[in-house]
Amino acid sequence: MPRTIISKLQENPDYLKNAAAKSNAGKRKTRYKQITFKITDTQKEALEVICKRQKTTPVRYLKSVIRKQTARYKSSPQPVSYVTENQLQLF
């Protein structure tokens, strides 16, 4: 009687390791840059009040504000050029 394979894990014990390696193969590592800036005492107090009302930390609040503002300036992909066979390409 032929041997039946119930799961890939029985056939290859390293299946889970290989699957995890394949899923991370196309992932790009995120690079972070450190930014420092100064704020006045009143600005810090206002920031603490905002964070207390929204139940968040100052770092999370500032990151969310930066993320919202920079989302508008992300580069959009170039539109696809629809050129037919009979159309002359000058450029």
Contacts for 23 with CB less than 8 Å, ≥ 6 apart: none
Q: What confidence category does residue 13 fall into, taking pLDDT thresholds of 50, 70 and 90?
A: low
Domain regions of the chain by residue span = 37-73
The secondary structure of the chain in percent helix, strand, coil, rounded to multiples of 5, reads 50, 0, 50
Do the beta carbons of residue 50 and residue 61 sit within 8 Å?
Answer: yes
Quote the pTM value.
0.52
The two three-digit tokens of residue 17, written as one number: 């390791």
Contacts for 56 with CB less than 8 Å, ≥ 6 apart: 64
Task: Express each pLDDT in 36-68 by its tens digit.
Answer: 999 999 999 999 999 999 999 999 999 999 999
Do the beta carbons of residue 15 and residue 9 sit within 8 Å?
Answer: yes
